[in-house]
């Protein structure tokens, strides 16, 4: 039961960050789709690396804001997704390595 709560909380935080960032640029319908994707990916990421996924959400939001100011919205979304995936994968590798050396 606690595992589902962790995934739910992580997903809600990811979705809560994603929707206000992209709603102005994409409109409510496309922003809702991105929010659902952010909910699922942040929830799954929270299952593997608990607090690392939340740091990855913050890094993705920062990457989106910076990339949006310099390029278009499509490239900013790509940068945000890439930074989220890289951060989550990095935390997972770090966690796996630390558990293997115990």
How far apart (Å, rounded) are the C-alpha atoms in residues 92 and 68?
28
Work out the burial of residue 98: count CB atoms within 10 Å of its CB; fewer than 13 is exposed, 13-18 middle, 19 or more buried.
Answer: exposed
Count: domains in the chain: 1
Which of the four pLDDT bands, split at 50, 70 and 90, describes residue 62? very high
Q: What is the mean pLDDT of residues 38-52?
A: 83
Q: How big, in percent rounded to 5, are the helix, strand and coil portions of the chain?
A: 90, 0, 10
Work out the burial of residue 47: count CB atoms within 10 Å of its CB; fewer than 13 is exposed, 13-18 middle, 19 or more buried.
Answer: middle
pTM greater than 0.75 (yes/no): yes
The residue segments making up the domain with residue 18 are 2-100
């Amino acid at each position: 039961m606690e595992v589902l709560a962790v995934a739910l909380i992580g997903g809600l935080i990811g979705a809560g960050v994603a929707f206000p960032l992209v709603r102005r640029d994409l409109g409510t319908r496309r922003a809702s789709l991105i929010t659902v994707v952010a909910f699922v990916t942040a929830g799954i990421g929270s299952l593997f690396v608990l607090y690392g996924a939340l740091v990855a959400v913050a890094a993705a939001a920062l990457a989106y804001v910076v990339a949006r100011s310099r390029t278009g919205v499509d490239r900013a979304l790509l940068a945000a997704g890439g930074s989220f995936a890289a951060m989550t994968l990095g935390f997972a590798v770090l966690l796996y390595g630390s558990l293997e050396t115990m």
